[in-house]
Structure 1
Amino acid sequence: MVSSPPIRLPKTLRVTDEQFSDFVVANPDLRLERTATGELIVMPPTGSESGNYNFELNTDLGIWNRQAQRGKAFDSSTGFRLPNGATRSPDSAWVTNERWEKLTPQQRKGFAPLCPDFVLELASETDNLDTLRQKMHEYIGNGCRLGWLIIPKTKQVEVYRPEQAPEVLQSPTSVSEETVLPGFTLNLRTIFGT
C-alpha cells in the first residue's frame, strides 16, 4: 500500500478559483476553504467533543428542515462560493427553496454560487475566535440573513444579522429566530449542559 506524502503549504498560499477547484478534486479528503483574496485554508478535523456537538446541531436543523420543507440544509463538508469570491464551509447552513431552485443542476453539484440564508459556526477548542467572527461578518456582508456563532467554552451564542451589531446571549438553553427559520428552535442543553 502506497501512502500519500504529507501536505506542506506555505503560511499563505493564494490560488485562483480554478486552481482551488482543481486542488479540491485532487484532495477529496481535505476540508478546504478559500478567502475572497484567494488564500487557501486547510482546516483540520475537529476533536471528538466538537464533532459530537456539530452532529447534535445538524440533527436539530435537519429534523426541522425535513418537517418544515422550506429549504435545503447542509453540513460542514459543503462549500459555498460567496459573491465576494470566497469559498466557505460553515458548520451548518440553510438555503430557502426559492433561492435553491434558481440554481442550475450544475451549480447545485459544485460549490453553490450563493451565500446561505442561515449559517452556524461552532467554535472548537483550537479555533481562533477573531477569525470566526470575521467569517460571520463575511457571511452577513455577502447576503446571509442570520448567523449563530456558538462558543461552548464561554457558553455564549453570538447572533449576527444584517445591519445590526452582534447580539451576545449568555448560557441560553435554546436559540430561535422566527423571521428566517420559522418554527426552528436549536437546543443548546447538550452543548452548554444547562
Structure 2
Amino acid sequence: MEPDPRRDLVLTATTLKALTHPLRPRILSALRLHGPATASRLAEHLGVNTGATSYHVRQLAEAGFVVEATEMGNARDRWWRAAHARTYFDTHDADSETSAAYLSAVAAGYADSAQRAIAEIATLPPEWEDAGTFSNFTLRLTPDEAARLITELTTLIRGYRPHQGTTDAPEDARPVSVNLEVFRAPGMPAE
C-alpha cells in the first residue's frame, strides 16, 4: 500500500530532522493513538515535564507534524492533534547521521511503549492475556529475502483494521501495537 497524501506524511531530509529528538516521535505517537491533547496532558501521559513537552509540541507544529485543535479547549489551553495518520520513512532520503538519530528516537519510543505494556499485563482482562507476544526470531536471510519478508509482513498487517478512521470495528476491538523491526543482527561479521 502506497502512502495516501491526504492522510500520510512521507518524511524528507528536512522534515526528518524535526523528529530526531527522542520525545518528539513519542508525542506524535501519543496524539495519533489517544487523539488531541494539551501539552500538560501529554506531559502527564509521557511522564515528562510540561515545559519540555510544550517546547517540543511547538517544534512539531513548526515542522507540520501537529496542528492546533482549535475546536477544543479555551483561550487558556491549546489543544493539539497529529496532522497525519501515519509517517513513512525511506533511509535513502536522508544522511546517515540524521537517519540514525531518527531511528534511535523511534526505537526508544518502542522500548518505552513495551515497558508500559509489560507493566499493564497484570491488569488485562482474561481475553487479552494470551492476545499479545514479545517474540524474537533470528533468521539467516539474504538481503532479497529480508526485503521480501518485510513486504509480506507489511501486507499481512495492512490487511487488518487500522486504528484511525475505522467505523466498522467490533465493540470489543481495542488498539493493538504491532512493531515491525527487521535488521541485520548487530555485531556479526560481514561475511
TM-score by length of 2: 0.28
Q: From the two aligned structures, give the one with the greater helix fraction.
A: 2
Could you say which structure has the greater relative contact order, defined with CA pairs below 8 angstroms and 6 or more residues apart? 2
- Higher Rg: 2
Q: From the two aligned structures, give the one with the greater strand fraction.
A: 1
